[in-house]
Structures are given as C-alpha cells and as structure tokens.
C-alpha cells in the first residue's frame, strides 16, 4: 500500500491553517506548484479529494478535515521522536515551546526565567501567552511542547506536574468596609457589584467556584462590567466600580501596589487555583515537563 509522506501531510496541515495555496507554499518554503502537486499526489493516495478550490480560498472537504486531524497527530508524534533523539541525555536543551496563561505569565516568569537560563544554558525557550483553551488546543496539535496553566480545567488527553497553589484573595476599593476585616466571608460580598475577567479566562471560573458565587448579571442577563486583564481589573476596582478576586501571585508581584485597593484573604476552604505544567499524554517531552515544573516550583 502506498502511504502519504510526512511532507505531504505537512502541506495539507499548512493549507488548512492558511486557507490559501500561495500562503501555505510560502510557509513551507516551496513554490506553489510544488505544494499543489504534493496535495494532488496525496489525494491520489487517499483516493479522495481533500480540498475544494473556490474564489474565496481553499475549503477542506469532509475527507480533508479528517485527514488534517490525523495528520496533526502524526506530525506531532514525529516531531516528538526527533526532539527526544536530539535531547537524549540533555533535558531542556534546544527549542522548547511553552504556552503561558495571561494571569500567570507576568507574575511567575520574571522570577523563573533567570533560574531557567542559569540552570539550562542550552535551552532556547519560545513563549506564547494565550488563554487556556487555545493553549490546550495547541498542545494537542503539537504546536506547543508544554503549557503553564491553572487547574481545575478539563485535562482530557494531557498529563501535568504541580508547580504551586495560588491563593485567591478578595479585592475591593480602599474605603470598602472589608478593609476593617482580617478575613472576608465571600457571602458578605453578595450585595456588591462583582467584577470578573471576561469569559474565556479560567481565573474567572476559579474565583466563582472557590467562593460558591454565581456569575454577575446586569440588564438583559449580561454582566455590567468585565475586565480584559488583571491590571485593568485592579483599576476598575480602585475606581469604585465593584469588588473582585485576585490571585496572590499577582498581588505579591506588586499588581495592587499603586492602586486604591484593599486586599484580604478569604474565609473559605481552599480558595486557590493550582498552577501546573501540562503536556500531551504520551509526549516525549513529559520528562522535560516535569523538570520544568520542578524548576518553576523552586523559583515560585
């Protein structure tokens, strides 16, 4: 049986990502006729058309979508093979693509990166900051080697190693009655306007779950306020727009130092999120993922 080549599968994957033969060819560093010929040969081998050519660009057929899904897994495992061979006996040497969520990156990495540089001088770290959902998707397709994320989250198909528990703290305007308390019962904040990060940030769900609260609702069942980042959230709190919850990691890094904000521990059991390094189950980068988590744990 004639089988597709890895190069043909790469062409198909790039075609799926770029939606254009010209852009896919440019990304593959080949001419457009070369890429087109590779796709045509792939279609002959599969016995099915994988793309429809339209004026608006390239549209994958049902067979093409399934082929891309399988090709991504094959290519990711092949890259794992190469990286495992290159890194044999030298963990965390060479290229390592690490995803980090925005509510962790600015607060943990400044402490951790110098440690990683000193301990692993041959490491070439490529960082990608994004939301958890997109980082996990990139892990599963092989676009990332590992990701620094927060749990709880659906980790189907992934393995992970613990870095640290990050306590969630109540935050309110400086003149809020909460300022006179040493610990804050989340129920006491139910009468206040609750501001959270916009939907898609896992910290939003962690805060609500840890405090047993429901998402805030405004007119038409939509939130009155939501923030796009932790610095924006702090400014909104300091301006008197409402109360919220902040990760201790960010507060200790100085997030609230110049804001008119009061921060207090929560009087509830386990008000925290777990920071972990995650990687695709079965990936050869698992050993490095655990080593990375251990190093980050020491730097935390």
For the stretch 180-203, pLDDT in tens is 888 988 888 877 888 888 877 888
- Burial per residue of 165-175, b for 16 or more beta-carbon CB atoms within 10 angstroms, e otherwise: ebbbbbbbbee
Classified as helix, coil or strand, 255 is coil
Per-residue pLDDT, 84: 66
Q: What is the pLDDT of residue 295?
A: 94
Tokens 């994958």 belong to residue: 60
Model pLDDT, residue 270: 75
Q: What is the pLDDT of residue 292?
A: 94
What CA–CA distance (Å, rounded) separates 204 from 194?
Answer: 11
Q: Residue 53: its pLDDT value, please?
A: 78
3-state helix, strand, coil in the chain (%, to 5): 45, 25, 30
Find all residues with CB under 8 Å of 128, minimum gap 6, and list them: 97, 98, 99, 100, 135, 138, 144
Stretch (H or E) spanning 13: helix 6-18
- Using DSSP, state whether 279 is helix, strand or coil: strand
Residues of the chain falling short of pLDDT 70: 55-56, 83-89, 213-224
pLDDT of residue 114: 94
Peptide bond into 152 cis (omega under 30): yes
* pLDDT in the model for residue 73: 85
Q: What is the pTM of this model?
A: 0.72
What are the tens digits of pLDDT across the range 272-299?
899 999 999 988 888 899 999 999 998 8
Q: How far apart are CA 184 and CA 25, in angstroms?
A: 58
Q: Residue 86 has what pLDDT?
A: 66
- Give the model's pLDDT for residue 271: 86
> What DSSP state is assigned to residue 20?
S
What token pair was written down for 128? Answer: 């990608």
- pLDDT at position 79: 80
- Other Cβ atoms less than 10 A from the Cβ of 221: the count is 7
């Amino acid at each position: 049986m004639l089988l597709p080549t890895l190069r043909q599968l790469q062409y198909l994957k790039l075609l799926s990502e770029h939606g254009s033969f010209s852009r896919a060819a440019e990304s593959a560093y080949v001419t457009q006729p070369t890429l087109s010929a590779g796709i045509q040969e792939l279609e002959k081998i599969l016995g099915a058309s994988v793309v429809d050519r339209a004026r608006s660009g390239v549209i994958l057929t049902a067979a093409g979508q399934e082929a891309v899904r399988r090709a991504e897994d094959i290519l990711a495992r092949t890259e794992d093979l190469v990286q495992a061979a290159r890194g044999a006996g030298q963990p965390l040497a060479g290229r390592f693509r690490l995803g980090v969520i925005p509510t962790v990156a600015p607060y943990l990495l400044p402490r951790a990166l110098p440690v990683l540089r000193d301990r692993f001088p041959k490491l070439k770290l490529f960082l990608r900051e994004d939301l958890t959902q997109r980082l996990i998707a990139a892990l599963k397709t092989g676009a990332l080697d590992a990701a620094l994320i927060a749990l709880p989250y659906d980790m189907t198909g992934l393995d992970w190693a613990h870095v640290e528990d990050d306590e969630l703290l109540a935050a309110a305007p400086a003149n809020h009655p909460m300022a006179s308390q040493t610990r804050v019962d989340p129920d006491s904040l139910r009468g206040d306007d609750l501001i959270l990060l916009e939907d898609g940030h896992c910290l939003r769900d962690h805060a609500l779950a840890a405090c047993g609260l429901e998402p805030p609702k405004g007119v038409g069942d939509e939130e009155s306020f939501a923030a796009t980042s932790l610095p924006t959230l702090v400014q909104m709190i300091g301006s008197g727009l409402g109360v919220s919850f902040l990760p201790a990691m960010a507060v200790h890094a100085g997030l609230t130092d110049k804001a008119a904000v009061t921060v207090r521990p929560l009087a509830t059991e386990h008000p925290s999120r777990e920071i972990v390094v995650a990687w695709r189950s079965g990936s050869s980068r698992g050993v490095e993922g655990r080593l990375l988590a251990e190093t980050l744990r020491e730097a935390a």
